[in-house]
Each structure stands twice: as structure tokens, then as C-alpha cells.
Structure 1
Amino acid sequence: MKTVRIVGVPEHFNFPWQMAIEEGAFEARGINLEWTNIPEGTGKMSQMLANEETDLAIILTEGIVKSIVEGNPSKIVQEYIASPLLWGIHVAATSDYKTVSDLKNAKAAISRLGSGSHLMAYVLGKNEQWDLEKLQFEIIDHLEGAVSALTQRKADFFMWERFTTKPLVDKGVFRRLADCPTPWPCFVLAATNKFSSEQARVLGHILEVINGYTAEFKNIPSIDRTLANTYEQKLEDIKQWMSITQWSQSKLSKETLEAVQNTLVDLKLIAKKLPPDAVLI
């Protein structure tokens, strides 16, 4: 049995992996797939790939591209979610901020530098034509840290996946001002160069299994109820989320990679671009 380590955020996007593990689909291929939830998100997972603390990661596209350009010895294996991620722009429920334009010169809570919440603050700033050099950040590690930072006024706003934070909006902890979708497919599967080169056959088996699960995922009877119960979401929210979410079994295109790198350069988040074969398997 070959042990393979994989990390991802504890969100509904990754439920197909949990199903495949629980149903023994990887074990049937001789693979002991060890899944670890990383609530801190992409910045932490990029670090784990770089340090070879994991073999694989389900990770935000823009975050891992930035990390690879900066020297992370990893590559993107394929798309995982082909649809954009809908980032909710949240403030404390008691905050005086009423519109996104009010957030100019406000401080953003981010999980860590290089995270999706960090990079998307720049995307938001560009969309709003703010001075990006004046963006301010408060590092809060994870969602619970964001709750503390916003309610204690240590930060002013927080961007996170809309449906994951919806229960906090419903409870009156956060108010969502608007949404900011990513301009590209949101999640990819990334692998360390060591793993993809030394375990190419094992990686191929993992892809066959998970791509089979994601291709059929939406057709599973009552999967929306299962997700609602598992992630403590309202059924109507899960139905809406599933209607706009598309799992992928395809490679990330060179055109998409170019668009991501162009945006990161434009936002001055990377100093150079890499050719596709330096980023994609």
C-alpha cells in the first residue's frame, strides 16, 4: 500500500475526496490517501508543498501560480473546479461600512500572505480603482480569526468563499456587502515535483479515481442534502452553490495560466512570468 499525503480546505468543494476515501476507492488501487484539512488555506498549503510536508494539494489557482513563480518546487496537475470562486466581501454586522466603495483605505483581514484572501484583496482593489500600494492587512490565520478581528475592529473587511461564510451572515456575525468572483477556474490539484516525477503511475491512479467521482458527483441522489447536513448549510444555499459550481477533469489551459500570470504581474504580486512547462505538468 502506497501512502500519499494530500491537503485541502475543509469545505464542500472537497467532499468528492472524502467520499472516495470512505468508500475505499483509493485503497482498491493500492493507495493509502491521507487527507488533512488545512483551514488556513492556500498560503499554508503552498508552504507545505514547498517544504514537502504534503505530496498533493487542492489549492487556489492564483495562489499556487504565485508560489511556483516565486520558487515553490511544485506544478499544477490539472483543474479541479472549473468555475470561478465567489468571494464574499464581509464586514462585521455592526460595522458602519455599507458599500464596497466605503472600504477604500480600510484594513483587510487575510489568512496569511500569499493566500487567496490576500491576492483577492488586490483584485478587488483593482476593480475599485484603489491605490494598491495603500492596501492594509491584518493576518488572522483562518475563519475563526476573521470573526475575532472584525468584531474587535482589528480589521475592517474579510473576503472568503461566499457559501462557507453564509452561516455567519445568517447568524448576524458578518454582513456581506457584495461578491467578487475570480476571473479564472478557482481550484487546481498541485503536486510537488518530487512526487509527480517519482510517483507518476500512482498520480495517474489518483486522477482516474477522483475524476470519476467528480464527473458523477452532481448526479448522486440527495447529494445536496448530504452536503447541507455535513457542512451545516441551508439546503437552499447548497442548491444555489451546486448550480454555479463545475468540477473539472481537464488540464489547466495555457491561456488560463497566461491570464493568471498577467493579472499577478499587473497587480505587482509577481515580478516575472514563467513558461507553461515550468508551471503545468
Structure 2
Amino acid sequence: MKKVNIGGVPEHFNLAWYLTLKNGDYKKEHINLRWHDYAGGTGAMCKALRNKEIDIAVILTEGIIKDIIAGNPSKIVQTFVDTPLIWGIHVAHSSSYKTIEDLKGTKAAISRYGSGSHLMAYINAENNEWDLEKDLDFEIIKNLEGAVDGLTSGKADYFLWEKFTTKPLVDDGVFRHIGNCPSPWPCFVIAVREDFIESNKADLKTILEIINNTTTEFKEIPSIDKTIANRYKQQLEDVQDWLNITEWSQSLIDKQTIMTVQKQLHMLNIIPEIVDYKKLTCKL
């Protein structure tokens, strides 16, 4: 049986992977798919792909594009979630900051440089016409747990993270939500190491076929809203809102979207150059 390692964030977006694993769908096809949670997000998964700790990553679009251009020997093989990620902008509950404009020139908590929380802090600054050199400062906090400590202790002033994931912390009075910054593109893609694609194309196609069959019908799964609410400790109405605005994909990200992401990252000096579509993607 072929062993395959896959990584992703331990969030509701990836429940479809958990369900297919629990059901033994991959083992029926003689594939031993092993899931690894990466609470550190995109930066941690980019590192794991480079180190061959995982073969596949369910990862933020902008983060993996940046890292492939920086030398990560991987390719995007499919969009996973077609809709934008709604990044919530959060401060400590007791913070004096009330609006996004109040955050100009303060310190953003980020999981690591090159992470989604880092890149989206730039997008937020650009959206609000801040000076990208003078008005941005960063504190590395590694993960959501680190963000709680960082904001509560005052080491950092604000934190961008997926709105629904952080909602329980808002409900509990740890964070205060003061705005949103949606990603201007599909949020999650499936990226695979190039050497794995070359030597395991048939298994990879099988894995994608299984997950795509599940995401196609994900919203029709009986009581899926209650399952998500219970598993991820979220309010049922929040989960229902999230399901209403979220669409999965079963196809490869298109050229125009790849160009849109690159133009934005290049304008913000996050990537040094715009590269060809084929350098970033692989059609199976």
C-alpha cells in the first residue's frame, strides 16, 4: 500500500479530507493517506513540502505561489476552495483600537514571514492606502495560540486570521473583531511536490477524484452544519453563514487568477518577478 503524506490547517475547510479518511476511501484504493495538521499554516506547510515531510498540501493560494517562485519544487494541481477567504481583523478585547484606521502604524501579529497572515497584512494596508514601509510592523507569533498571547500581552496590536475560525475567541471575549479583509482570489489550492507528481501520478489522480466526489456533495451531507459546529466548537448560525458563502472547486486554477495573484504580490514587493503559468501549475 502506497503511503502518502498530506498537510493542511486544522480548520473546517478541511473536514472533507477527515470524512474521506474516516470512511477508509483511500485505503480501498490501496493508498495509505496520512493527514498532518499544520496549526502554523502556510509557512509551515511550505517548509514541510521543501523538506519532503509531506507530499501534498492544502494551502493558501498566495502563500504557495510566493514560495514556488522562491524555489519550492512544487506545483499547484487544483483549486480546493473556490471562494475568497474572509480574513477577520482582530484586536485584544481590552484594546483601545476601534477601527482599521486606528491600526495604521501599529504591529501586526503574523504566524511567520511569508505566511497568509503576513501577506494579507500587506493587502489590508494596500486596501487602506497605508505607507507599506512606514505603517507596517510585525511580530511573529507562530499560530493562533501565539496570537492570543501576543495580543493579550501587548506584544502585537492586531491579527488577521480566518473570520470563522477566530469567532469562538471573539465570542469568549478574548479578541474583538473590527473588520474584514477578503482575499482577492480563491483561497485554498492543492499543491504537490514535483518529484511526487512525476512518480505517483495515478495515485494522485485517485486521491483528487475521491476528495472531489466528496466536496461536490459536501453541503448536501445530512446535518453537516451540526457536525462542523460540534467538531470545531463554533456556533451553528456561524457555520450556516460560512456554508452559504463557501464553494469548493474540482478544477485547476486558471491563468487569469494566477496572474491576478502575482500582479498583487509583485506590486507589494512580496515576489521579485511574475513567472509563467506553467512554472506554478501542473495539469494532470
TM-score (norm 1): 0.99
Could you say which residue in structure 2 is the equivalent of 1:158? 159
List, as ranges, runs of 4+ consecutive aligned residues in structure 1 with deviation greater than 3 Å: none
Q: Distance in 2 between matches of 1:221 and 1:205?
A: 25
Q: Distance in 2 between matches of 1:27 and 1:133?
A: 50
Matched, 1:64 2:74: no
Number of aligned residue pairs = 281
Could you say which residue in structure 1 is the equivalent of 2:88? 88
Percentage identity across aligned positions?
A: 55
Ranges in structure 2 where 5+ consecutive residues have no aligned partner: none
Could you say which residue in structure 2 is the equivalent of 1:241? 242
Question: Per the alignment, in what secondary structure is the counterpart of residue 217 of structure 2?
Answer: helix
Matches within 5 A, 1:261-280: 261-280=262-281
Root-mean-square deviation over aligned CA pairs: 0.5
Q: Distance in 1 between matches of 2:49 and 2:67?
A: 10
Q: CA deviation at 1:11?
A: 0.1
Q: CA deviation at 1:261?
A: 0.4
Structure 2 letter corresponding to 1:38: Y
Q: Distance in 1 between matches of 2:174 and 2:35?
A: 30
Structure 1 letter corresponding to 2:106: A
Q: CA deviation at 1:87?
A: 0.2
Q: CA deviation at 1:10?
A: 0.2
Could you say which residue in structure 1 is the equivalent of 2:190? 189
Structure 1 letter corresponding to 2:182: P
Could you say which residue in structure 2 is the equivalent of 1:34? 34
Q: CA deviation at 1:3?
A: 0.4
Could you say which residue in structure 1 is the equivalent of 2:100? 100
Could you say which residue in structure 2 is the equivalent of 1:45? 45
User: Deviations along 1:143-196, whole A, 9 cap, x unmatched?
Assistant: 000000000000000000000000000011000000110000000000000111
Could you say which residue in structure 2 is the equivalent of 1:221? 222
Question: Per the alignment, in what secondary structure is the counterpart of residue 176 of structure 1?
Answer: strand
Structure 2 letter corresponding to 1:10: P
Name whichever of 1-10 and 130-139 sits farther off: 130-139
Structure 1 letter corresponding to 2:238: D
Question: Per the alignment, in what secondary structure is the counterpart of residue 180 of structure 2?
Answer: strand
Q: CA deviation at 1:50?
A: 1.2
TM-score (norm 2): 0.98
Q: CA deviation at 1:133?
A: 1.2
Q: Distance in 1 between matches of 2:57 and 2:270?
A: 22
Matches within 5 A, 1:96-135: 96-134=96-134, 135=136
